Structures are given as structure tokens and as C-alpha cells.
């Protein structure tokens, strides 16, 4: 009878959420893994900036889709993150990126994989969602679609490859191709507006030293990304080959929907279930239909940040929760120039 009571309470809450009950929020992550101390300041700054940009988009009458796309674009432009310009290299020394985005109101989604020489794979995924008849594009067809949509494909190729990525691949090979070498990571964002609309987006350069053509969880709806206005929006980071096997994002949503778990209990239990059954670690950021946030990871670290009203909260280490109060007149340029 307990589960019936819980279910009835959830239905009651859903039916009585009004615009006044929901405070808009943008929550981002910059990847789960092992982050060296010298890299943490860059993670702080980049995560905070991404959350702030996404939030300003939302406050300036942008949609939740606009907010998560712009937040992810900030991190794709930042070499502190494994996405876009900061992407790791595959075994042959090339960049292949994955991304996905999902609208919780319509359940529409856009996914791309194996993206090369495009700075913002998340924007390509958004175009797939908005402008194509499909959810997922890859290969030559994806490239033709990108051209038709006017998305810049960098020429000559290889402009996204950084010296840091080259050095990291060399270290990886010197350490007998151990996939636990390096910080790994993925970037993502979730947002909710005052009307309860939710969106989620995720983008990654994948796993260092991966086989050419490898696709991880980031591009897969239900594994790395999921959004449903009736439950939650989720972006996942971590061991993609494990995450996709358990459909981690969808597992969290179903635990909330069917068992009545709150967002943090659902995330924690899903992570525990994954690592009990399979090897690998992961992290999630999530926002439920009432605007409650969930931040959980069982890796050593995960960078994250969110803005709600004029407060930015952020962290990297387990148990860390730092906050900054932003004066109303403060502008994004001040953060970007820190």
C-alpha cells in the first residue's frame, strides 16, 4: 500500500504545480573522472560561465532548449573540457565527437556521432531535432546535412586538436592504453523555466585512445541524455560503454516515475546499481518537474555549477558546494575576464 500512497502524492503534486511554484534554473556539468589540482580552477570558471550564460538566455526570453544549447556551447569552446575544442583524440590521433539534445515538452530529440571539425556538435544535434525528420544522423549524411544548414566545417581539418590532447594521447599510450589515465569527461546542461518546461543536452569528445568510429552514451537518448516535463531532465557523464548498457538516464527517470523516488535517491540508487552489476563510474546532473536539482557522481570528481536567481553554486570534489552571490548589475564579461 505504501507505493500506492506515494504514487497518489506524486500525482497530487503534479496536478498542483503552478508557474509561481517553479524557479528557473540552469545546471551544468563539465565531466566526471579524475581531475588534477591544476585543472580544477579552469573547471570552476568554465562551469560557472556556462551556467551563467544559459541562465541569462533563459531570463532573456530564450527557451530551455536555447539555454542548454548555449551553456554547452560555452564548454565546447573551452579547452578545459572534453568537448568541442577540448576534445580528446582517438587512437589514430583524430577527434570524433558525439552530442544529443532533448525537449521535455515534445519529447523531440536530436543526436549526432562521429562529428569531425565542427566546433559545436550540440548545435548540429539541435538542427537535427528541429530541421530533419529523424532523431539521429551520422556519417556522410550528417556532413551533408550540416552543409545544408550552414554549419561551419573547419578547413583545413584538425583545427580543434590541442597540444594538450596530443600530449594526453602520448601519455595514454605510454601507460599501456589504460582507460583510467586522464580525466575523461563530457559536458552537459539541464534547464527548467517558470512554466515547467525542461530540456537536456550533452556533448563529448569521447574516450581518449578510443577506436575510430566508437560511439558512447552521449549520443544515445535514454543513456546520456533524457528530458520529460512530467518527470525530469538528465545529462550523464562517465564511462559511456557502461552507461549505455544500463540506459542510466532513463533508469533514473523510471525510478522517479514508478517508485516515487526523489531525484537524488533515484540518481544514487541507479549509480549504485550500475557499479554493482558492471565496472565503470558515472555522474549526473538533473532537474525534476518541480525544479529540484540532483547532482550525483561515484567517480573521484565531477565539475558542476548552477544558477538560480542571482546565486551561482559550483563544485568539483565530493561534498563540495561553493556559492557566489552575483550583484544584479554584474555582467558576463566580468566572469569571462577573470
- Tell me the per-residue pLDDT of 116-168, one tens digit each, with 9 for 90 and over: 999 999 999 999 999 999 999 999 999 999 999 999 999 999 999 999 999 99
Q: For the segment 160-215, what is each residue's pLDDT rounded down to a tens digit?
A: 999 999 999 998 898 876 655 456 679 999 999 999 999 999 999 999 999 999 99
Looking only at the bridges linking them, the beta strands covering 301-308 and 136-138 are unpaired
317: left (phi over 0), alpha (psi -120 to 50) or beta: beta
> Does the annotation count 5 as an active-site position?
no
Give me the catalytic one of 186, 218, 225, 237. Answer: 186
Describe the strand order of the beta sheet including 198-204 as a list of residue ranges. Answer: 136-138, 109-115, 97-103, 198-204, 187-192, 25-33, 301-308, 311-317, 322-325
Cα separation, 78 vs 259, in Å, equals 39
Cβ contact 221:109 at 8 Å: yes
- State the cell numbers at 128: 537535427
- pTM score, whole prediction: 0.91
CATH number of 2-336: 3.60.20.30
Task: Find, among 27, 28, 41, 26, the residue nearest to 185 by Cα.
Answer: 28
Cα separation, 330 vs 66, in Å, equals 22
Amino acid at each position: 500500500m505504501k507505493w500506492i500512497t506515494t504514487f497518489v502524492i506524486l500525482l497530487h503534486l503534479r496536478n498542483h504545480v503552478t508557474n509561481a511554484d517553479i524557479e528557473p534554473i540552469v545546471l551544468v556539468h563539465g565531466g566526471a573522472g579524475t581531475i588534477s589540482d591544476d585543472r580544477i580552477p579552469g573547471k570552476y570558471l568554465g562551469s560557472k560561465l556556462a551556467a551563467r550564460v544559459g541562465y541569462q538566455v533563459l531570463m532573456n526570453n530564450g527557451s530551455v532548449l536555447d539555454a542548454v544549447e548555449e551553456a554547452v556551447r560555452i564548454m565546447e569552446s573551452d579547452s578545459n573540457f572534453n568537448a568541442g575544442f577540448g576534445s580528446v583524440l582517438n587512437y589514430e590521433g583524430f577527434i570524433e565527437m558525439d552530442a544529443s539534445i532533448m525537449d521535455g515538452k515534445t519529447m523531440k530529440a536530436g543526436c549526432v556521432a562521429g562529428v569531425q571539425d565542427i566546433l559545436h556538435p550540440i548545435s548540429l544535434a539541435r538542427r537535427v531535432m528541429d530541421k530533419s525528420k529523424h532523431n539521429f544522423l551520422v556519417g556522410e549524411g550528417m556532413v551533408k546535412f550540416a552543409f545544408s544548414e550552414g554549419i561551419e566545417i573547419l578547413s583545413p581539418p584538425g583545427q580543434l586538436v590541442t597540444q594538450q590532447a596530443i600530449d594526453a594521447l602520448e601519455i595514454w599510450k605510454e601507460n599501456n592504453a589504460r582507460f583510467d589515465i586522464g580525466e575523461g569527461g563530457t559536458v552537459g546542461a539541464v534547464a527548467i523555466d517558470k512554466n515547467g518546461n525542461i530540456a537536456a543536452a550533452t556533448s563529448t569528445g569521447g574516450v581518449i585512445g578510443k577506436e575510430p568510429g566508437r560511439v558512447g552514451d552521449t549520443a544515445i537518448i535514454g543513456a546520456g541524455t533524457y528530458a520529460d516535463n512530467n518527470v525530469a531532465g538528465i545529462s550523464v557523464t562517465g564511462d559511456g560503454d557502461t552507461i549505455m548498457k544500463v540506459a542510466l538516464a532513463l533508469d533514473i527517470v523510471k525510478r522517479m516515475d514508478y517508485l516515487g523516488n526523489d531525484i537524488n535517491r533515484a540518481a544514487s540508487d541507479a549509480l549504485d546499481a550500475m557499479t554493482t552489476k558492471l565496472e565503470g563510474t558515472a555522474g549526473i546532473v538533473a532537474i525534476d518537474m518541480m525544479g529540484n536539482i540532483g547532482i550525483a557522481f561515484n567517480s573521484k570528481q565531477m565539475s558542476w555549477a548552477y544558477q538560480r536567481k542571482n546565486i551561482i553554486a559550483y563544485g568539483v570534489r565530493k561534498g563540495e558546494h561553493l556559492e557566489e552571490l552575483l550583484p544584479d548589475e554584474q555582467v558576463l564579461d566580468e566572469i569571462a575576464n577573470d
